[in-house]
Amino acid sequence: MKLFPVLVMLTACAARPQDLSGKMFTFPLESNRAHVRLNASRLDLSSLTLCHRSFTDLKRDHVLFSMATPVHSNDFLIFWDGTNKEIEPHIKDRKAEFGGRDYKPNMWHSICSTWDSESGLVQIWFNGLPSIRKFVSTGTNIVGPVIIILGQEQDSHGGGFDIKQSFVGMMSDVHLWDHILSSCEIQNYVDELNFTPGNVLNWSALEFEIIDRVLIENKLMTCH
Ligand SMILES: *[C@@H]1O[C@H](CO)[C@@H](O)[C@H](O)[C@H]1NC(C)=O
Ligand SMILES: *[C@@H]1O[C@H](CO)[C@@H](O)[C@H](O)[C@H]1NC(C)=O
Ligand SMILES: [Ca+2]
Ligand 2 and 195: CB distance under 6 A: no
CA–centroid distance, 93 to ligand 3, in Å, is: 12
Ligand 1 and 39: CB distance under 6 A: yes
Question: What are the Cα distances from residue 93, in Å, to 108, 124, 156?
Answer: 27, 17, 12
Mutate which of 207, 208, 209, 211 for ligand 1? The one with the most ligand atoms within 8 Å of its CB, which is: 207
Q: Provide the residue-wise pLDDT of the chain in tens; the chain has 224 residues.
A: 444 444 444 444 455 899 999 999 999 999 999 999 998 866 899 999 999 999 999 999 999 999 999 999 999 999 999 999 999 999 999 999 999 999 999 999 999 999 999 999 999 999 999 999 999 988 899 998 999 999 999 999 999 999 999 999 999 999 999 999 999 999 999 999 999 999 999 999 999 999 999 999 999 766 76
Find the helix or strand (DSSP H, E) in which 8 lies.
helix 3-15
Residue 16 pLDDT:
86
Ligand 2 and 205: CB distance under 6 A: yes
- Decide if 79 contacts 97 (C-beta within 8 A): no
CA–centroid distance, 163 to ligand 3, in Å, is: 9
Q: Tell me how far apart the alpha carbons of residues 99 and 86 are, in angstroms, rounded to a whole number.
A: 4
| SS3 of residue 97 by DSSP | coil
CA–centroid distance, 145 to ligand 2, in Å, is: 23
Of 111, 94, 128, nearest to 56 by C-alpha is: 111
Q: State the closest ligand 2 atom to the C-alpha of 198, by its place in the atom list counted from 1.
A: 13
Residue 95: which residues within 8 A CB-CB, separation 6 or more? 74, 77, 79, 88, 89, 136
φ/ψ of residue 109, rounded to 5: -125, 130
CA–centroid distance, 41 to ligand 1, in Å, is: 6
Q: Which residues of 129-162 are buried (b: 16+ CB within 10 A; e: fewer)?
A: eebeeeebbeeeebeeebbbbbbbbbeebbeebe
Region of residue 216 (left: phi > 0; alpha: psi -120 to 50; beta: else)? beta
Of 133, 116, 119, 114, nearest to 189 by C-alpha is: 114
- Decide if 136 contacts 91 (C-beta within 8 A): yes
Residue 182: which residues within 8 A CB-CB, separation 6 or more? none
Residue 7 pLDDT:
44
Residue 6 pLDDT:
43
CATH topology of domain 3-218: Jelly Rolls (2.60.120)
Q: Which amino acid is at 37?
A: R
Residue 40 pLDDT:
81
